[in-house]
Amino acid sequence: MQRKSLKTVMFLGVIAGLASAVAAQETNEQPAQPPPAPTNPADMVAQGEGVVESGAALSTTVSGLVREATEDGDVMKVTCLNDKQTEIDGNLSTAQQHLKALRGTSDPGVRAHEHTMLMVIGQKLDTLGQEAGQCVGQDLYETGETAVDTIIDEDMLPFEDEPSVPPMVLPPSLPTLPPPESGMR
Amino acid sequence: MRANLSLLGVAFIATTLSAASVHAQGWLADRSRAEGSGIRLGNFELHPGVGAEGGYDSNVFLSENPQDSPVLRIAPHLYLQTLGAERSGDAGPPPVEFKAGVSGSLKHYFETQAGTNIGAGQDAKLTLRPGAIVTFELSEEFKRNIDPFTDPGVQIPDTVPDPDDPPVEETPADSDLSFARDQLSLGARAQLGTPGGVFKAGLGYKFAIDHFEADEFAANRANSHTVSGDTSWEFFPKTALFWDGSVTRNNFINSTDELSLDEMAMEPSLRNDSTTTKTRLGLNGGLTARVGFTLAGGYGAGFFDAGDGFEAVLAQAEIRWRPEETILWSFGYDRETTSSYQGNFVRMDRIKTGTQLMLGGIVVIQGRVELAFLNFGVDPELGERDDMQFLATLSGEYRLVDWFAITAEANYWQNFTDFVYVNELGEEDAAKYKRFEGWLGVRAFL
């Protein structure tokens, strides 16, 4: 029970962090921009390490949610979270490679490039965290295959059966044939 | 079982009021009324039935000088069809729909030379893939009508009588004259439609033979070829915009222009081959849940090998009111021009009203009243002619059980006209007449 509570708290923390990030984005009328690149190499490495640590924490949290959903037998949630975790892990691995390259270079141009890549991956990880949060509540909105039953109140419909077949106009009802020629001039 | 009767009642009410013929018995003119619950035979259902009636006809030969007679009428029928909606339920339309029927009508006149005669009717219709995108129909219909349709005329003696001789009482032209008229038609129609039938378009062809058995009426024998097209578009709630048109070539076996002068002199009136065409555009459907309507207009033209042709505006307006599920009332107006046996063509303006009721699932009543104004084309032999026709019919039945009913019918016709036929001796035969007939009988049906 404690483990579940811990995971829930962790997840709520992730969601709260993401929510504040989103709120911050909403208050800014300008489109979200990556933070300004520091000129100090140590600051660049520190920011890169922050991205990798956040990604690792996110991966751990989502992994716990996958296990929880598996235990609950919620196939829909498991499938959704698995997809997100695969993407998170892939991006985390890429971030670790760029952090390693950032640490090992002395060239200012390469350093700036590696730092930019880490910041972009950080934004991607934020987005994946939001999407993982939507997986948790997704079953509330997922209806599965739907069918629409339309009930027509026939009392409200015209009684005409086949409007495409209008009544025929018949010839005169009474016969108008002349008498036989034997009686005529 | 009452539920079955109600279903039949709804089906019966759903039929078109004007479909009935003035000649056929009330129930035979309306197949949905004639049928009972039926007998299931695999994927088919069979509807046998027979009726027997006694009646009175005030004017058997539609003459100004009427001959009346008590009449006996016996009419069996047998209908076969693929399972109807009541039996097939929600299964949807079958891949092939088939309807066929045969009926007879034996009539015996007790007091006129019309004697005993047998009328017959037979029809069949095959529909391939009803309700599908492409539908194909084949139809066939045969009718033998035996009811006198005109005054037999006055016997012309071989020699001209001496004016000094005392007048001789008028005698019928031919006491054995047969009024039997055989009509056969064969048709085919292909239809293309969207799923659900919102849009439909059809193309058809029909060949028809009209044969008068007696030589005295041989001049009326004809055949015709008709090519027709139609299309419709249905929209909310149950209304359709429709168009239909046709071209008909009618050929008399002995048309006037092919006769010698002597033969032509024996002809009572024009019999000219013709090509007629008609087109009609209109709206049909429901205004409200209880009110339906038809509103259409069109153009018709007739081209005759000799004599006058016609061009005409065609019109149709009808309003239908169904206050209850088994009660229907209609009122309408028709303007139509058709080929005629006199003056090549006849123009008709008709006001009509009718009702159909089923009360309590056991009483069926049908009524119809019409007033028609006819204006014939000018006939070189017969001159001009204008008629006004009045028709009132009332028929009903009381269903004692699901398969047995007491039937009653009353009809009144009157033809108002100043027109008179004149024979070789100068004797006049007025075309006006009035007629009343009443029937009472029983019928059994399944």
User: Residue B439 contacts by C-beta under 8 Å, 6 or more apart in sequence?
Assistant: B25, B53, B54, B55, B73, B407, B408, B409, B410
d(Cα B112, Cα A162) in Å, to the nearest integer? 45
CA distance B26 to chain A (A): 15
Residues 181-240 of B with CB under 8 A from A: 197, 200, 214, 216-217, 219-220, 232, 234, 237-240
pLDDT of residue A143: 66
Mean pLDDT, to the nearest integer, of A106-111? Answer: 86
Residue B3: pLDDT over 50: no
CA atoms in the 13 A half-sphere facing the CB of B55: 28
Region A105-131: what's the mean pLDDT?
89
pLDDT score for B17: 38
For the residues B394-423, what does the mean pLDDT come to? 92
B24-64: per-residue pLDDT in tens? 566 666 667 677 778 888 888 999 999 999 999 999 989 88
**Closest CB to B173 among A163, A165, A183:** A183
A35 interfaces chain B, CB cutoff of 8 Å? no
Provide the strand spans (E) within B236-362. 239-252, 274-286, 291-304, 310-324, 327-339, 345-359
What is the C-alpha separation between B128 and B289, in angstroms, rounded?
32
Across A88-115, average pLDDT: 89
Q: Do B284 and A164 touch (CB under 8 A)?
A: yes
How large is the ipTM?
0.79
The reported pLDDT for the residue numbered A26 is 45
What are the angstrom distances between the C-alpha of B369 and each of B123, B283, B393, B396, B413? 28, 24, 7, 15, 10
A1 Cβ under 8 Å from any chain B Cβ: no
C-alpha to C-alpha distance for B397 and B27, rounded to whole angstroms: 9
- Residues in chain B within 8 Å Cβ distance of A171: 336, 338, 348
User: CB distance from A152 to chain B under 8 Å?
Assistant: no
Confidence check: pLDDT of A11 > 80? no
Q: Does A155 touch chain B (CB under 8 A)?
A: yes
Q: Average of pLDDT values for A115-143?
A: 82
Confidence bin at B373 (pLDDT 50/70/90)? very high
* Sign of the CA dihedral running B217, B218, B220, B223: positive
| Contact between B341 and A176 using a beta-carbon 8 Å cutoff | yes
Pairwise pLDDT comparison (A183 vs A155), residue with the higher score = A155
Q: With CB atoms and an 8 Å threshold, state whether A159 touches B154.
A: no
**pLDDT for the residue B301:** 97
Kindly state the average pLDDT of the residues B215-236. Answer: 92
Q: Given this model, what pLDDT does residue B259 score?
A: 63
Q: Which of A136-150, B92-106, B301-315 has the lowest mean pLDDT?
A: A136-150
Question: What pLDDT score was predicted for residue B107?
Answer: 93
Residues B337 and B345 sit within 8 Å (Cβ to Cβ): yes
Tell me what the mean pLDDT of segment B379-390 comes to.
Answer: 89
The model's confidence at residue B203, banded by pLDDT at 50, 70 and 90, is very high
B318-334 pLDDT, tens per residue?
A: 999 999 888 999 999 99
Tokens standing for residue B183:
């009509």
Q: Are strands B181-193 and B199-212 parallel, antiparallel or unpaired?
A: antiparallel
Within 8 A of B350 by CB-CB distance, chain A residues are 172
Cβ-contact B307, B380 below 8 angstroms? yes
Structure tokens at B181: 């008229």
Nearest to B151 among A164, A167, A179 (CB): A179
B2 contacts chain A (CB < 8 A): no
Distance of residue B148 Cα from the nearest chain A Cα, in angstroms: 9
Q: Stretch B325-353: mean pLDDT, rounded?
A: 94
Using the beta-carbon criterion (under 8 Å), do A178 and B389 form an inter-chain contact? no
**pLDDT tens digits for range A35-46:** 566 778 888 888
Once rounded to an integer, what is the mean pLDDT over residues A163-178?
A: 88
Residue A172 and residue B374 in contact, taking contact as beta carbons nearer than 8 Å: yes
Greater pLDDT, A110 or A12: A110
Secondary structure, 3-state, A51-73: HHHHHHHHHHHHHHHHHHHHHHC
**Cα of B53 to nearest chain A Cα, Å:** 23
Min CA distance, A144 vs chain B (Å)? 28
Measured distance CA(B269)–CA(A133) in Å, rounded:
94
Contact state of A179 with B382 under an 8 Å Cβ cutoff:
no
- Looking at the partner chain, which of B342, B415, B425 has a beta carbon nearest the beta carbon of A174? B415
| Per-range mean pLDDT, top range of A145-154, B251-260, B280-289 | B280-289
Q: How far apart are CA B112 and CA B65, in angstroms?
A: 13
Between these two residues, A92 and A150, which has the higher pLDDT value? Answer: A92
pLDDT at A111 over 70: yes
pLDDT band at B264 (very low <50, low <70, confident <90, very high): low
Mutation site, B30, B216, B226, interface A, largest A CB count within 10 A: B216
Reply yes or no on whether the pLDDT at B404 is more than 60. yes
User: What pLDDT does residue B20 have?
Assistant: 40
Instruction: Please check whether residue B373 is in contact with residue B391, taking contact to mean a CB–CB distance below 8 angstroms.
Output: no
CA distances from B183 to B62, B119, B149 (A): 21, 12, 15
In this model, does residue A27 exceed pLDDT 70? no
User: Which positions in chain B touch A160 (Cβ < 8 Å)?
Assistant: 238-239, 284-286, 292
Residues B163 and B109: beta-carbon distance below 8 Å = no
State which CATH number among 2.60.120, 2.40.160, 1.10.3470, 2.60.40 fits the domain covering B2-157+176-445.
2.40.160
Three-state secondary structure call for residue B405: strand
Q: Do A174 and B22 touch (CB under 8 A)?
A: yes
B1 confidence band (pLDDT: 50, 70, 90): very low
* B128 band by pLDDT with thresholds 50, 70 and 90: very high
